[in-house]
Amino acid sequence: MAVVHNLAAARGVPPAPVATLRGVTRVYDGERRVEALGPIDLDLAEGEFFAVVGPSGCGKSTLLDVLSGLSRPTSGSITFEGRPVEGEVPDGVGVVFQEDASFAWLTVRDNVAFGLRRAGVDAAEIARRVDYAVGFMGLADFAAAYPAQLSGGMRQRVCIARTLVMRPRLILLDEPFGALDQQTRLLMGDELLRLWRETGATVLLITHALDEAAMLSDRVGVMSARPGRFIDLVETGWPRDRDSRIVSESRFGALTGRLWSNLREESLRAMGSKGAAA
Amino acid sequence: MTRNRAIVLARIGVVAGAVVLVEVLCRLGVINPLTLVAPSRMVFDLAGILASGDINRDIAYTATTIATALVLSVVLGIVLGVAVHALPRVRRALDPLLASYYSVPSFIFYPLFVAIFGLNTFPLIVLGMAFAVPAMMMSTMAGLDRIPRVLLKTARVHRLNRWETATRIVLPSATPYLFTGLKLAIAYAFIGVIAGEFIMASAGLGHSIAFAYEGFDNHTMYALMLFVLVVVTVMNMSLHAWEGRLMRRRIRA
Ligand SMILES: Nc1ncnc2c1ncn2[C@@H]1O[C@H](COP(=O)(O)OP(=O)(O)OP(=O)(O)O)[C@@H](O)[C@H]1O
Ligand SMILES: [Mg+2]
């Protein structure tokens, strides 16, 4: 994949935000009214790796839904590349969902090629990109298999590959490594970092693993219990070419410690209000 | 693989054993030939009837009626299923009616259909459809209900339009349920049409069976019954094989 230089950053000018959220809230109006999110104010800088951590049910997936344009915020406004996001997913945004979204009726290869075929990319280019992504995700031996023959973690990787081949400029990932063991999780994190560096994409990663957030991101947003707001934004200060080996640095422990001290109380609150959130 | 083969062999063995048993009982005179003719005799009689061509018109008549009822049922069932699925209020009103639908013996309306449409194929098609449409409709709705929401979200992330979403996500995702509906619709179309012909008709296989029955023509009656049985079994088995081929890869081994 081509190396995309961040021109604004190279000139020393602070890069323009790729996505902005202003006063964004989301209320679910069902039989019971659920205030799920916000208000949220956030700027995602171009090429930034942003991680979101927060207690279960605090509105992380809801944040992803409104930011991607899959659902409209109840109030507030969202932009992507300067244009408002209103109930439609803009071109250039890729999403990996928390749930398994692989297509059971297609092989791994056809799953990964799905978006490219749709976009009318020529066959040779599709084959090249799909082969690369399938290999990249460690699925080369399973290219002809169907999702039913894969483990949960492998299916999630199919979905990641299907998103990455589209080369989105903003990648939203909702606990993509949730079904993986810790070792694979660290290695996949490294792969994600490599990809992020190579493509210059902006990444928003939702995770419940504090160490993952601390290791992968430039900035971590810590969310409160529902309705989720950012109660802390932590700059990690890692260099751009980092990898999982930074877990042995002393600052890494300090970072996860800070995230946890922020989250502990919120998690307790979320547990206490479990009945209401369920 | 070998285990599957053993199961298939056992199944064939059970059927073959039953046939042989009946054959022996008939030959020994334990079963009165006026009650039941020997299976070998049924095959022989059927071969004779088919060779004579006497029954060809009735076969064509019944096949056309069933095919028409089936095609209309599948189309109408899917259309209604999609429409009702899209209208939650109509759905709520209709659900209890659909749930109890098959407890109503639709055959009692057949004379009414004949009175309205006359004694021709039309009331038979309507009767077949009365059986098959709700099954197809309910299967369609079940299939649509069970499409994971995340797949519909994925469709939107890929910016598919409505048609692409329907053909590339909804349809393949609902296929197992549509298959169930199709299998039921085939069975119901057969039952509705042949039974309708049996009750009241001027032509068709069901009519011929009833005619033979009333004329004490056991040989024709059993030969035709065997014919219907074989056709239904072969159709079901081919459909089953087709479904198996389509679905095998979607089910966890
Ligand atoms: N479609 C919906 N209708 C009504 N309430 C909803 C809906 N989706 C989510 N909620 C509620 O909104 C709140 C936030 O849900 P959300 O899925 O965004 O949380 P989350 O932070 O992603 O949780 P988790 O960490 O468990 O994935 C929860 O209380 C949930 O019950
Ligand atoms: Mg979530």
Answer yes or no: is A128 within a domain.
Answer: yes
The span from the CA of B237 to the CA of A55, in Å, is 53
The residue ranges of DSSP E strands in B73-154, in sequence order, are none
Q: Quick one: which atom of ligand 1 is closest to the CA of A32?
A: 4
Question: Are the beta carbons of B224 and B212 closer than 8 angstroms?
Answer: yes
Question: Are the beta carbons of A203 and A49 closer than 8 angstroms?
Answer: yes
For residue A223, the model assigns a pLDDT of 92
Percent of chain B topping pLDDT 90: 65
Structural domain that includes position B26: 1-36
Question: Are the beta carbons of A232 and A222 closer than 8 angstroms?
Answer: yes
For residue B229, the model assigns a pLDDT of 92
Same domain, B45 and B22: no
The mean of the pLDDT values for chain B is: 91
Same domain, B20 and B141: no
Task: State whether residue A93 sits within 8 Å of chain B by CB.
Answer: yes
The span from the CA of B68 to the CA of B120, in Å, is 14
For residue A3, the model assigns a pLDDT of 46
Question: Are the beta carbons of A222 and A26 closer than 8 angstroms?
Answer: no
Same domain, B56 and B4: no
Same domain, A63 and A196: yes
Same domain, B219 and B131: yes
Residues paired with B39 in a beta bridge: none
Which CATH number belongs to the domain containing residue B196 in this structure?
Answer: 1.10.3720.10
Determine the distance in angstroms separating the CA of B250 from the nearest CA of chain A, rounded to an integer: 6
Task: State whether residue B247 sits within 8 Å of chain A by CB.
Answer: no
Same domain, B97 and B5: no
For residue A107, the model assigns a pLDDT of 93
Provide the phi-psi class of B159: left if phi over 0, else alpha when psi is between -120 and 50, else beta.
left
User: Is residue B23 over pLDDT 60?
Assistant: yes
Same domain, B12 and B83: no
Which DSSP letter does residue A47 get? T
Same domain, B28 and B49: no
Question: Are the beta carbons of B140 and B131 closer than 8 angstroms?
Answer: no
The span from the CA of A48 to the CA of A219, in Å, is 8
For residue A6, the model assigns a pLDDT of 52
Residue with tokens 């023509």: B217
Same domain, A145 and A176: no
With a cut of 50, which residues of chain A have pLDDT below it?
1-4, 8, 275-278
Percent of chain B topping pLDDT 70: 98
User: Is residue B190 over pLDDT 90?
Assistant: yes
Nearest CA to ligand 1 atom 20: A57
Torsion, CA B44, CA B46, CA B50, CA B53, rounded to 10: 110
Which of A120, A147, A167 marks a domain boundary? A167
Q: Which of A99, A105, A115 sits opposite B158 (nearest CB)?
A: A115
For residue A273, the model assigns a pLDDT of 57
Answer yes or no: is A37 within a domain.
Answer: yes
Residues, CB-to-ion distance under 5 Å, ligand 2: A 60-61, 98
For residue A278, the model assigns a pLDDT of 41
Residues of A in contact with B251 (CB under 8 A): 148
Which of A146, A167, A188 marks a domain boundary? A167
- Report ipTM for this prediction: 0.87
Provide the phi-psi class of B49: left if phi over 0, else alpha when psi is between -120 and 50, else beta.
alpha
Same domain, B49 and B139: yes
Answer yes or no: is A97 within a domain.
Answer: no
For residue B14, count other CB atoms closer than 10 A to its CB. 10
Answer yes or no: is A57 within a domain.
Answer: yes
Same domain, A23 and A150: no
Same domain, A161 and A125: yes
Same domain, A69 and A199: yes
Same domain, A245 and A107: no
Q: Which of A70, A114, A115 sits opposite B156 (nearest CB)?
A: A70
What is the 3-state secondary structure of A121-157? CCHHHHHHHHHHHHHHCCCHHHCCCCHHHCCHHHHHH
Q: In what order do the strands lie in the sheet with A170-174?
A: A93-96, A170-174, A202-206, A49-53, A219-223, A230-235
Provide the phi-psi class of A92: left if phi over 0, else alpha when psi is between -120 and 50, else beta.
left
How do residues B24-41 score in pLDDT, each as one tens digit?
999 998 888 888 889 999
Same domain, B45 and B71: yes
Same domain, B158 and B205: yes
Determine the distance in angstroms separating the CA of B69 from the nearest CA of chain A, rounded to an integer: 30
Mutate to test the pocket of ligand 1, among A26, A28, A56 (most ligand atoms within 8 A of CB): A28
Picking from B145, B146, B132, B248, the residue whose alpha carbon sits closest to that of residue B182 is B132
Same domain, A72 and A106: no
Which DSSP letter does residue B166 get? I
Same domain, A174 and A163: no
Picking from B27, B150, B204, the residue whose alpha carbon sits closest to that of residue A95 is B150
Picking from A188, A181, A97, the residue whose alpha carbon sits closest to that of residue A136 is A188
Same domain, A177 and A270: yes
For residue A236, the model assigns a pLDDT of 85
Same domain, B150 and B188: yes
The span from the CA of A271 to the CA of A267, in Å, is 6
Same domain, A34 and A109: no
Answer yes or no: is A2 within a domain.
Answer: no
The reported pTM is 0.82
Q: In what order do the strands lie in the sheet with A83-84?
A: A33-45, A17-29, A75-80, A83-84
CA of A60 to the centre of ligand 1 (A): 8
Same domain, A41 and A145: no
How do residues B138-178 score in pLDDT, each as one tens digit?
999 999 999 999 999 999 999 999 999 999 999 999 998 99
Same domain, B6 and B90: no
Nearest CA to ligand 1 atom 3: A28
Question: Are the beta carbons of B156 and A70 closer than 8 angstroms?
Answer: yes
For residue A276, the model assigns a pLDDT of 46
Structural domain that includes position A190: 7-92+170-276
Number of folded domains in chain A? 2
Which of A130, A149, A167 marks a domain boundary? A167
Question: Are the beta carbons of A244 and A190 closer than 8 angstroms?
Answer: yes
- Do the chains contact at A101 and B156, CB–CB below 8 Å? no
CA of B1 to the centre of ligand 2 (A): 42
Same domain, A198 and A267: yes
How do residues B94-127 score in pLDDT, each as one tens digit?
989 988 898 888 888 888 889 998 888 999 999 9
Question: Are the beta carbons of A238 and A221 closer than 8 angstroms?
Answer: no
Number of folded domains in chain B? 2
